Structure 1
Amino acid sequence: MRVIASSIRKGNVIEQDGKLYVVLTAENIHPGKGTPVSQIEMRRISDGVKISERYKTTDQVEKATIEDSNFTFLYEDADGFHFMNPESFDQVQVPKEVVGNAAPYLAENMSVKLSMHDTTPVAIQLPQRATLEVVDTEPVTKGQTASSSYKPAMLSNGVRTAVPPHIGVGTRIVVMTEDGSYVERAKD
């Protein structure tokens, strides 16, 4: 589907020279004199190479058709991550490059949203929050119940985060999957 360059936004997938690119930033620049342009920074999905392109705002760009579907995470092996479509039971293998920083938060039977171009997975979207256990942190300090200072902690998935002083080893906490930041103590 061809669209004008000024309508491209972050997260869109563009097809250029037979390759797929995911848009990282898209900025429309309107100089006082001259033609307005769209500065688009994108990453090639196949190998992760970052490129920057400048188009006239009226130039036509090929926007790839992406289909979002729900999948269930099954397991990880040397080939990548394996997911199953809960409706058709089709299995899909997703390369480590596509999963990227989301890998530590994937848990067995977790429901995720995969963005597919034809049959190729191009992006993954995890649930916003994950519940994990604190496996290592400094001991609980008496008297510090709700101060604004945080202490470092290691979670059961190997990610380091900062937690309030009242959180101890073995406590289950809720973290944001986007950046691993502490949200609250788990209610289970």
Structure 2
Amino acid sequence: MAVLIEAINIKRKTLFEFENAPFACLDSDITTPTARGGQTLVRLKIRNLLTSAVFEKTFKANDKFKEPDLQLIPASYLYSDGDGSHFLDQETYETLTLDDGMIGNALDFLIEGALIQLHKYNGNPIGLQLPMFVELTVAYAEPAARGDSSSGSGTKLARLETGLELRVPPFIKEGEKVKVATENGEFSGRA
């Protein structure tokens, strides 16, 4: 039998099934009434893992949800074309395809052969989970302005091998590998 999760126990990053779709909790807020006989309410900010839609919904504290049939499987990025982005399941060596809606901005961080985690819901791929940081090569970096390097302040624009543009410190040169945070697309240091 499937495990049931009460609404009051749903915290940030909890996965649950609601209206036959998998959801991830982004934030939760519990409201306890001051009057006698009032019900405790749980306000959840949730993301639909199939559509990526984010919204807020209020539930009673004792509402119950099933755990979704979600799996995280290791996969490597192969290539993208008109049909979508293709990944190789590292366990079954099956090619899995995700459309642009499922990928989002992940292609900014993916190079051929990159290892990621794919989400499967009821056996079908629905999205991916990037690592916290990726290492990418700088394809182009603006020349540093004179005097910038001594003060340590200031940044310049750099374009990475994936086409992602970001601000980097003046000492970063073309051909160097840099570490990029996938959550916000910001420079995190040299690789």
* 1:149 alignment partner, SS class: coil
- CA change 1:145–1:79 in 2 (3 A) is farther
Q: Percent identity?
A: 26
Give the corresponding residue for 2:12.
10
Query: Whole-Å Cα distance in 2 between the matches of residues 18 and 8 of structure 1?
Result: 17
1:46 aligns with 2:50: yes
Greater than 4 Å deviation, 4+ residue runs: none
Give the corresponding residue for 2:24.
22
- Compute the displacement of 1:179 (Å): 1.8
Query: Whole-Å Cα distance in 1 between the matches of residues 183 and 20 of structure 2?
Result: 30
The answer to whether the 8 Å contact 1:145/1:165 transfers is no
- Compute the displacement of 1:146 (Å): 6.1
Give the corresponding residue for 1:108.
112
What TM-score, normalized to structure 1? 0.84
- Compute the displacement of 1:75 (Å): 1.5
* 1:32 alignment partner, SS class: coil
Give the corresponding residue for 2:73.
69
Where does structure 2 lack aligned partners over 5 or more consecutive residues?
A: none
- Compute the displacement of 1:142 (Å): 4.4
1:185 aligns with 2:187: no
1:140 aligns with 2:144: yes
Query: Whole-Å Cα distance in 2 between the matches of residues 94 and 11 of structure 1?
Result: 23
Across the aligned residues of Structure 1 and Structure 2, the Cα RMSD in angstroms comes to 2.3
- CA change 1:7–1:151 in 2 (3 A) is same
* 2:30 alignment partner, SS class: strand
What do the CA deviations read for 1:156-181 (whole angstroms, capped 9, x no partner)? 21212111111233433222222221
* 1:54 alignment partner, SS class: strand
